[in-house]
């Protein structure tokens, strides 16, 4: 007896995409093939790397005595530049605003950063391109960056500053110089930088008049002499070889060292540079602290950490690992309104979505922050944006205090590595704290 068979398709697998050649990678190959030029974007590393989410605080218990809620005092103040400067900076919170240039940002954004930081008793920082009247006028404490390009650099502004930050590198691109494409070289930006309007400006990647740590020591001497030894002098490096770089900066005479991890943002750089050069912020802190400790300079030369700081927990973790303060850039821009869903339609026109927009170099920012186009910049109300930043800074400080009190600390600087554990072996090894539930610190002893 025969039986009619119903034809069925052969079983097959569902479409499977490659983990190696994922959608983004494929799109980048197609983009490169079509254009013949590398991709440029703003922001920091987007790849997933061990970060502060991989650490937890232990909090107080039988063996530790906590402080009560928000009533018992938990200090947040920090003094920066006490090593040599006669006028160190006294901040009310250990969260500063990182260097971002007028040019990469609109004048309104710079003003808003100054307003927000000043409201919270902390500092903001200039960037490549010099000091604007807006940011000096609205920043009670302003750090003046001294960069390889020396755009807009002049001794009058140097003396107006509250501190000087010698920029050797930044976390998004250790070894790379600044980049500001022609769309953002407006007449005002061009005049401040002594450049023709509309050109693609590429800043020098190394300082023009010194090479190496011995020269840096003399350069710091010159800056101190010009400012009569009043101003704290910071040295900022991108996270690459933090132990040696921090040690050399201290040897050269820095009052403060700023260490920027690869998640730290940039106004514009090649994607391949951002994602493949430098090390994560988490991996950089402990070697830097060890360098300071080995030199007997921990807490004498202050350490500022930046690169992917998002909330009070991140702040507390940095401090617990040995930092004196943190600096925020990307998060501060988000607080002002960067990548806000309110501009979803505008982002769609630019071929992107809120949260992913990173073509800051093109100058078309719907939020009016990373642009020099007057009609876009006018969208940002500096007063309102400044209040948003102040609110955000306040929350970060409150969160850091909450954690510190839970750990029984009367000052956020009393947090220590012993308060931390790690959720992964990688994070434990990088941060130098035990894997949670064990007393094992990878690299420091057997499991």
Partner 1 sequence: MTAQDLTIDLASTTLRQLNQALHRLAPDTNQRYWRVLNPRGGHALAAGLDAPVKVEIDGHVGYYCAGMNKLATVIVNGNAGVGVAENMMSGLVHVRGDASQAAGATAHGGMLVIDGNASARCGISMKGIDIVVKGSIGHMSAFMGQAGTLTVLGDAGEALGDSLYEARLFVRGSVASLGADCVEKEMRDEHRAELGARLEAAGLAGTVDVAEFRRYGSARQLYNFHIDNVY
Directed axis angle between helix 281-294 and helix 242-252, to 10°?
40
Q: Which is nearer to partner 1, 152 or 312 (CB)?
A: 152
For the bound state, the minimum distance from the C-beta of residue 66 to partner 1, rounded and expressed in Å, comes to: 49
> Interacting stretch for partner 1, rule CB under 8 A, among 66-74, 227-235, 326-334, 382-390?
227-235
Q: Which two tokens stand for residue 312?
A: 């009070």
Size of the residue set binding partner 1 (CB under 8 A): 31
Cα 440 off chain centre by: 30
Question: Which residues 165-224 are close enough to bind partner 1 by CB under 8 A?
Answer: 181-182, 193-196, 198-200, 204, 208-210, 215, 218-219, 221-222
For the bound state, the minimum distance from the C-beta of residue 351 to partner 1, rounded and expressed in Å, comes to: 21
Listed residue (100, 78, 73, 152) closest to 330, CA to CA = 100
Q: What is the CA radius of gyration of the chain?
A: 24
Q: Which is nearer to partner 1, 155 or 187 (CB)?
A: 155
For the bound state, the minimum distance from the C-beta of residue 179 to partner 1, rounded and expressed in Å, comes to: 9
Listed residue (245, 233, 241) closest to 301, CA to CA = 233
1, 6, 33, 37: residue in contact with partner 1 (rule CB under 8 A): 37
Q: Which is nearer to partner 1, 72 or 209 (CB)?
A: 209
Q: Which is nearer to partner 1, 196 or 443 (CB)?
A: 196
Contact assessment for residue 134 and residue 106, using Cβ atoms and an 8 Å cutoff:
no
Q: Which two tokens stand for residue 223?
A: 């800056």
Contact assessment for residue 149 and residue 208, using Cβ atoms and an 8 Å cutoff:
no
Break the chain down into helix, strand, coil percent, rounded to 5. Answer: 35, 15, 50
| Distance in angstroms (rounded) separating the CA atoms of residues 359 and 184 | 12
Residue 425 interacting with partner 1 (CB under 8 A): no
Q: Which is nearer to partner 1, 66 or 182 (CB)?
A: 182
Q: Which is nearer to partner 1, 60 or 153 (CB)?
A: 153
84, 229, 243, 440: residue in contact with partner 1 (rule CB under 8 A): 229
Q: Which is nearer to partner 1, 197 or 349 (CB)?
A: 197
118 SS3 class: helix
- Please, which residues have CB within 8 angstroms of residue 414's CB and are 6 or more apart in sequence? 404
Place of tokens 């190696």: 20
CB atoms within 10 A of CB 175: 14
Question: Which residues 125-154 are close enough to bind partner 1 by CB under 8 A?
Answer: 149-150, 153-154
- The residue ranges that bind partner 1 (CB under 8 A) are 36-37, 149-150, 153-155, 158, 181-182, 193-196, 198-200, 204, 208-210, 215, 218-219, 221-222, 225-229
């Amino acid at each position: 007896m025969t039986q009619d068979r119903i034809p069925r398709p052969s079983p097959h697998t569902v479409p499977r995409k490659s983990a190696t050649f994922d959608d983004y990678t494929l799109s980048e190959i197609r983009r490169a093939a079509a254009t013949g030029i590398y991709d440029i974007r703003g922001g920091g590393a987007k790849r997933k790397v061990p970060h502060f989410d991989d650490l937890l605080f232990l909090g107080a218990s039988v063996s530790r005595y906590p402080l009560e809620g928000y009533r018992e005092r938990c200090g947040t103040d920090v003094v920066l530049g006490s090593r040599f400067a006669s006028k160190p900076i006294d901040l009310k919170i250990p969260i500063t605003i990182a260097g971002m240039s007028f040019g990469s940002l609109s004048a309104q954004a710079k003003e808003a950063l100054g307003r927000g930081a000043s409201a919270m008793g902390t500092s903001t920082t200039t960037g490549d391109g010099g000091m604007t009247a807006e940011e000096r006028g609205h920043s009670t404490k302003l750090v003046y960056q001294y960069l390889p390009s020396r755009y807009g650099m002049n001794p009058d502004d140097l003396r107006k500053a509250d501190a000087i930050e010698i920029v050797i590198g930044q976390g998004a691109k250790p070894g790379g110089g600044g980049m500001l494409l022609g769309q953002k070289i407006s007449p005002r930006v061009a005049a401040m930088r002594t450049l023709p309007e509309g050109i693609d400006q590429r800043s020098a990647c190394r300082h023009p008049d010194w090479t190496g740590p011995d020269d840096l020591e003399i350069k710091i001497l010159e800056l101190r002499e010009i400012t009569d030894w009043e101003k704290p002098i910071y040295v900022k490096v991108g996270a690459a070889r933090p132990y040696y770089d921090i040690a050399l900066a201290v040897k050269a005479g820095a009052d403060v060292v700023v260490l920027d991890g690869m998640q730290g943002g940039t106004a514009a750089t090649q994607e391949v540079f951002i994602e493949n050069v430098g090390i994560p912020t988490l991996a950089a802190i402990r070697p830097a602290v060890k360098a300071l400790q080995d030199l007997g300079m921990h807490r004498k030369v202050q350490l500022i950490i930046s690169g992917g700081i998002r909330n009070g927990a991140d702040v507390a973790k940095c401090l617990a690992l040995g930092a004196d303060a943190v600096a925020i850039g990307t998060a501060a821009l988000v607080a002002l309104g960067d990548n806000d869903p309110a501009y979803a339609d505008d982002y769609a026109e630019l071929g992107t979505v809120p949260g992913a927009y990173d073509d800051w170099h093109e100058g078309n920012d719907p939020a009016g922050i990373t642009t020099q186009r007057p009609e876009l910049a006018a969208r940002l109300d500096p007063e309102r944006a400044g209040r948003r930043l102040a609110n955000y800074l306040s929350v970060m400080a409150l969160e850091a205090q909450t954690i510190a009190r839970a750990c029984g600390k009367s000052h956020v600087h009393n947090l220590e590595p012993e308060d931390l554990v790690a959720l992964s072996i990688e994070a434990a090894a990088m941060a130098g704290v035990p894997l949670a539930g064990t007393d094992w610190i990878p690299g420091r002893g057997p499991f």
